[in-house]
Amino acid sequence: MRMIKVGVLGAKGKMGAQTCLAVEEAEDCELVARLDLGDELEQLTAAGAEVVVDFTRPEVVMDNLAWCIEHGVNAVVGTTGFDDERLATLRALLEKNPETGVLIAPNFSIGAVLMMQFAAKAARYYESVEIIELHHPDKVDAPSGTARRTAELIGAARREANAGPIPDATTTSLDGARGADVDGIRVHGIRLRGLVAHQEVLFGDTGETLTIRHDSMARVSFMAGVLLGVRRIGGTPGLTVGLEHFMDLA
Ligand SMILES: NC(=O)C1=CN([C@@H]2O[C@H](COP(=O)(O)OP(=O)(O)OC[C@H]3O[C@@H](n4cnc5c(N)ncnc54)[C@H](OP(=O)(O)O)[C@@H]3O)[C@@H](O)[C@H]2O)C=CC1
Ligand SMILES: O=C(O)C1=N[C@H](C(=O)O)C[C@H](O)C1
């Protein structure tokens, strides 16, 4: 069997450590490099890495990806912090290295991908929608990448359906009381010891509500998606945003 040579960036972190275990256990993958803060990226090419999995931090991930693309190393990225500007930068870099593939996945859990897809499908049928994301208190970014992506998908579906503005009579409020506005959708963040990664999407219309909830109770929940990305990215040049593209959902 051909083995995929994998390097992990952020290997000492919560997700990086879990990814190293998953790659080591996968019968078709070989973990050839585990790098963390302060390590030289050249170790990746020296070890012959074909795919790099990045679980680092929003402030360093773009430099890592620029290096990977320049050196023709495919990348599977779980790190958050991607907006339209960053995605445009990646597309421009990939145009110069068209053989290389980059997957940006805001969430690798299969259930979370389904939750986002279900929410996008429901969006056109409800006047109101808000998102609550709930995470462990060591998370550095808010709102979560998953919540941002969900809001963007819902916003796009509402625009396509010519939905009007979401009703909200609030005229006075304390800062933050109504959450962050992401693409016209209110997003609320909870940080609580004991949680891992959870999200509720609440829809409402006259006389009914619909709540779509997903819970990741352990980080192993992300690993099937990470390995799917590792296996598929070598045959998918260019930029792919969202694991749904590798799940026959989009
Ligand atoms: N897409 C998905 O499914 C998921 C995405 N995430 C995202 O993944 C990212 C990491 O999360 P998590 O593992 O919890 O965070 P951690 O803080 O536990 O891990 C990040 C690791 O990256 C290290 N690091 C920092 N800078 C660099 C660098 N330049 N090169 C290599 N390593 C570096 C950190 O070192 P140090 O601590 O010394 O700074 C740390 O060991 C976050 O953006 C998070 O939101 C998390 C879960 C699932
Ligand atoms: O930091 C985390 O833990 C997570 N980050 C990702 C996000 O911001 O959406 C994915 C998941 O929610 C866990």
- Residue 174: per-residue pLDDT: 97
Q: What is the pLDDT of residues 15-64, one digit of tens each?
A: 999 999 999 999 999 999 999 999 999 999 999 999 999 999 999 999 99
Q: Does domain 110-217 have CATH number 3.30.360.10?
A: yes
Distance 55 CA to ligand 1 centre (A): 4
| Cβ(13) – ligand 1 distance below 6 Å | yes
Helix (H) or strand (E) holding 129: strand 128-135
- Residue 176: per-residue pLDDT: 96
Distance 80 CA to ligand 1 centre (A): 9
Dig out the tokens for 24 from the structure.
């080591």
Domain range annotation of the chain: 4-104+220-246, 110-217
Residues of each annotated binding site for NADP(+)? 34
Give the Cα separation of 114 and 49 in Å (integer).
Answer: 30
Q: Whose CA is nearest to atom 45 of ligand 1?
A: 80
The HSE-up count of residue 128 (CA atoms within 13 Å, CB side) is 13
Q: Which residues are catalytic?
A: 135, 139
Dig out the tokens for 64 from the structure.
């890592």
- Residue 241: per-residue pLDDT: 97
Report field, pTM of the whole predicted structure over 0.95? yes
What DSSP character marks residue 164?
-
Q: Choose the residue to mutate in 44, 55, 60 for probing ligand 1, maximizing ligand atoms within 8 Å of C-beta.
A: 55
Give yes or no for a contact between 209 and 203, defined as CB atoms under 8 angstroms apart.
yes
- Residue 1: per-residue pLDDT: 86
Q: Whose CA is nearest to atom 7 of ligand 1?
A: 79
For residue 63, the tally of other CB atoms under 10 A from its CB is 11
Q: Ligand nearest 139 Cα, by number?
A: 2
Q: Does domain 4-104+220-246 have CATH number 3.40.50.720?
A: yes
Q: Whose CA is nearest to atom 1 of ligand 2?
A: 139
Q: Which residue numbers in the chain have pLDDT < 70? A: none
- Residue 152: per-residue pLDDT: 96
